[in-house]
Amino acid sequence: MSANSKVSGLILAGGRGTRMGRVDKGLQPFRGTTLVAHVLQRLAPQVASVAINANRNLPQYAEYGCPVLGDELGGFEGPLAGLQTGLRHCGTELLLTAPCDSPFLPPDLAQRLLAALQSQDADVAVAVTLEADEQGVVQRQPHPVFALLKASLLPQLDAYLATGARRLEGWYKSLRLAEVVFEDAAAFRNINTLGELQQFDQANGQPGQPGQPLTLAAVASCLDAYDPDAMSVRDAQRIIGDFITPIQSFEKVALRSALDRVLAQDVISPINVPAYDNSAMDGYALRGADLPKEGSVTLEVIGIVYAGRPTALACGPGQCVRIMTGGAMPEGCDTVLPQELAAAIGDGSVTIAAGVLKAGDNRRFKGEDLAEGGVAIARGKVLRPADLGLIASLGLAEVAVQRRLRVAFFSTGDELRSVGETLDTGCVYDSNRYTLFGMLQRLGCDVIDMGIVKDDTVALEAALRSGCENADAIITSGGVSDGAADYTRAMMARLGDVAFWKLNMRPGRPLAFGKINSNGRSAWLFGLPGNPVAVMVSFYFFARAALLHMMGANAPLPLLRARAQANIRKRPGRSEFQRGVLSTGTDGAPQVRLTGAQGSGILRSMSEANCMVVLRDEQGNVAEGDMVDVLPFEGLL
């Protein structure tokens, strides 16, 4: 099994190699083999199949066992021409491209581009790295030839090329593009000159490591326009995603304890599953060549094979073997007749009529589920029951999972009282710590509940420092808008690199995000708004993805489309997250209605909901019957 059965790979090796003195780059010797072989080795485990796009030396490329495709446009017209050929021959929904001179490409390229393509509903996902220029200013460096594209884009590409245009970036401009930041810029290093080839060939291991830690200002400077007082949801998500880095720490746990944990390393299959060719039916194993073209044939039954009991039986012409489901196919046999399809079963013989069976039917191949040495499950997956079973089927008793993320949280505000305390005049019970507890627990975090912290600089400083020294991330609620008694902001800003945003969204307008430091330790900080619905919305749309990214997990938001059961008022220019009830209409299609009053202090609107209706910036009023995006709260537990 390959990591992504929906994705085919295409190695772009069709260039002229101008900067290398017109040599065929892909075939240049590199670390004991060729450049293209290194790329193939890294790409193949990530995709269902790989093809090579080349315009010369086609027989040499064919030796790598992949289809070799020459440009339809006649050769040397640039990467778009290679892409056109690749898309034309692509047998899957998606095509992943990589150049032939990038021997260090990331092992999770397909997985991360796919997650972004799906979650952003994009046509193309491309890799981006953040690199400091000579002045030390961080620049966003796109790598457009490391791309995941929908195969359905072919007609659009044909039309674009027909205009005479040849620029990859030009074509991407007409598509919905998702960018994925990869931390390791060195993984995208391509080798352009023979000098570089020689230099890397002699160097040991990977090329250089990424540089200095990033600052929020540097990350924000990569946006076209950055205005902390008018941020779009998308820009905020992008800055958070770019700033956060995953924790690099894992532990080995017994298989049962791995449920709901994040896989830290690819599970490589040590065996073929199944380990031998076997029967998918109770019946008779036979030689496909013996099947009659017309009339019927009677075969001699020479023995019986049970599952789990190997046999030395071998069938010659005219012979067959009685076999049970899971029994190893006897030598010479390639087909199984299910017993109920036999025309007659005699004493030591079975009769088969023409047309009931094709040669090869009902045989399961060795390795058809999982091939030895292949990636059975890619790292980053949150392990579900099927995954535990799959790992068990490989005979593995333990598995490497990411260490649990430690998240500290507290509520701020003098008006808050904890459950169990008397509710004084003008006070409210603290509900945010309970919703936060629930959401963090569901995400699989180790939680540290730090209680209620008063609007008081000393108490706030102590709480933030303690959270920072004991946790990977801190989540606070309240005090991030600029009210008179909101000391939270000032203290957060004093302790680190924190931005305070006003977002074009409702609820959840104010948000603080950054990294704070205390006594040599640092922690990511999410200052969520105090209103009880806003805290949840901000958690789901900002903190959740960030925490999952820290955990190294790959789990995009599962959005569905549903029909609005009534008009919904919506102001264009901001994102709105309304609480809804998703159900099935009389026609069997998903439909959604809102849960009454939607004020950001009305927690009942959340409690009664089973989904959120996600209405993006550009959207105006929704009319009854229109389709909207919804985020269901529950999956299959």
Residue 541 as a binder of ligand LQZAQKY5 (CB under 6 A): the answer is: no
Nearer to ligand MOO, 138 or 612 (CB): 612
Residue 269 as a binder of ligand MOO (CB under 6 A): the answer is: no
Q: Using CB under 5 A, which of 481, 488, 575, 591 touches Mg ion?
A: 481
- Stretch near ligand LQZAQKY5 under the rule CB under 6 A, chosen from 233-241, 287-295, 477-485, 587-595: 477-485
* Six-digit token string for 317: 């012409």
Residue 303 as a binder of Mg ion (CB under 5 A): the answer is: no
For 419, the 3-state DSSP assignment is coil
Residues 6+ apart with CB under 8 A from 79: 12, 14, 15, 97, 99, 145, 168
Return the closest-CA partner of residue 525 out of 559, 574, 489.
489
Residue 502 as a binder of Mg ion (CB under 5 A): the answer is: no
Residue 4 as a binder of Mg ion (CB under 5 A): the answer is: no
Is residue 121 annotated as involved in ligand binding?
A: no
Residues 585-624 that bind ligand LQZAQKY5 (CB under 6 A): 600-601
Q: Is residue 323 a contact partner of residue 283, using CB atoms and an 8 Å limit?
A: yes
Helix or strand (DSSP H, E) at 437: helix 432-442
User: Closest distance between ligand MOO and the C-beta of residue 503, in Å?
Assistant: 8
DSSP 619: -
Residues 423-452 that bind ligand LQZAQKY5 (CB under 6 A): 428, 430-432
Q: Which does 480 bind (CB under 5 to 8 A by kind): ligand MOO, Mg ion, ligand LQZAQKY5, none?
A: ligand LQZAQKY5
Residue 575 as a binder of ligand MOO (CB under 6 A): the answer is: no
User: Closest distance between ligand MOO and the C-beta of residue 510, in Å?
Assistant: 6
Q: Using CB under 6 A, which of 332, 529, 552, 580 touches ligand MOO?
A: 529
CA 48 → CA 2, 7, 122, 375, 514, distances in Å? 5, 6, 21, 11, 39
Residue 79 as a binder of ligand MOO (CB under 6 A): the answer is: no
∠ Cα 342 346 349 (to 5°): 80
Question: What's the per-residue H, E or C state across 445-493?
Answer: CEEEEEEEECCCHHHHHHHHHHHHHHCCEEEEECCCCCCCCCCHHHHHH
What residue type is 314 in one-letter code?
A
Give me the residue whose beta carbon is nearest to ligand LQZAQKY5.
530
Helix or strand (DSSP H, E) at 433: helix 432-442
Size of the site for Mg ion (CB under 5 A): 3
* Six-digit token string for 222: 């990569």
Each residue 593-622 as x (binds ligand MOO by CB under 6 A) or -, in order, gives: -------x----------------------
CA 548 → CA 158, 353, 442, 539, distances in Å? 39, 58, 12, 12
Residue 534 as a binder of ligand MOO (CB under 6 A): the answer is: yes
Give CA–CA dist 22/350, Å, rounded. 66
Residue 274 as a binder of Mg ion (CB under 5 A): the answer is: no
Q: Which does 430 bind (CB under 5 to 8 A by kind): ligand LQZAQKY5, Mg ion, ligand MOO, none?
A: ligand LQZAQKY5
Q: In what order do the strands lie in the sheet with 49-54?
A: 68-69, 49-54, 7-13, 94-99, 138-150, 124-132, 177-181
CB-based burial label for 491 (10 Å; 0-12, 13-18, 19+):
buried
- Stretch near ligand LQZAQKY5 under the rule CB under 6 A, chosen from 85-93, 307-315, 439-447, 480-488: 480-488
* Six-digit token string for 32: 């004991």
Is residue 504 annotated as involved in ligand binding?
A: no
What residue type is 361 in one-letter code?
D
Q: Using CB under 6 A, which of 506, 570, 574, 579 touches ligand MOO?
A: 506
- Stretch near Mg ion under the rule CB under 5 A, chosen from 73-81, 141-149, 345-353, 478-486: 478-486
Residue 409 as a binder of ligand LQZAQKY5 (CB under 6 A): the answer is: no
* Six-digit token string for 99: 């150049």
What does 490-547 look like in DSSP terms, one character per residue? HHHHHHEEEEEEEBSEES--EEEEEEEEETTEEEEEEEE-SSHHHHHHHIIIIIHHHH
Residues 6+ apart with CB under 8 A from 65: none
Q: Using CB under 6 A, which of 86, 103, 479, 508 touches ligand MOO?
A: 508
Residue 483 as a binder of Mg ion (CB under 5 A): the answer is: yes
Residue 85 as a binder of ligand LQZAQKY5 (CB under 6 A): the answer is: no
Q: Using CB under 6 A, which of 111, 531, 578, 591 touches ligand MOO?
A: 531
Helix 154-162 × helix 79-88 angle, to 10°: 140
Nearer to ligand MOO, 444 or 507 (CB): 507
- Stretch near Mg ion under the rule CB under 5 A, chosen from 312-320, 364-372, 477-485, 618-626: 477-485
For 16, the 3-state DSSP assignment is coil
User: Closest distance between ligand LQZAQKY5 and the C-beta of residue 532, in Å?
Assistant: 5
* Six-digit token string for 268: 């490589």
User: Closest distance between ligand MOO and the C-beta of residue 481, in Å?
Assistant: 8
Nearer to ligand LQZAQKY5, 99 or 507 (CB): 507
User: Closest distance between Mg ion and the C-beta of residue 488, in Å?
Assistant: 9
CB-based burial label for 519 (10 Å; 0-12, 13-18, 19+):
exposed
Q: Which does 82 bind (CB under 5 to 8 A by kind): ligand MOO, ligand LQZAQKY5, Mg ion, none?
A: none
Q: Which does 415 bind (CB under 5 to 8 A by kind): ligand MOO, ligand LQZAQKY5, Mg ion, none?
A: ligand LQZAQKY5
Can you name the residues that pair with 125 across neighbouring β-strands?
148, 178
Q: Is residue 268 a contact partner of residue 376, using CB atoms and an 8 Å limit?
A: yes
Q: Which does 123 bind (CB under 5 to 8 A by kind): ligand MOO, ligand LQZAQKY5, Mg ion, none?
A: none
Give CA–CA dist 28/197, Å, rounded. 8
Residues that bind ligand MOO (CB under 6 A): 506-509, 529, 531, 534, 600
Residues that bind ligand LQZAQKY5 (CB under 6 A): 411, 413, 415-416, 428, 430-432, 477-481, 483, 486, 509-510, 529-532, 534, 600-601
Residue list for the binding site for GTP: 12-14, 25, 53, 71, 101
Residues that bind Mg ion (CB under 5 A): 481, 483, 486
Residue list for the binding site for Mg(2+): 101
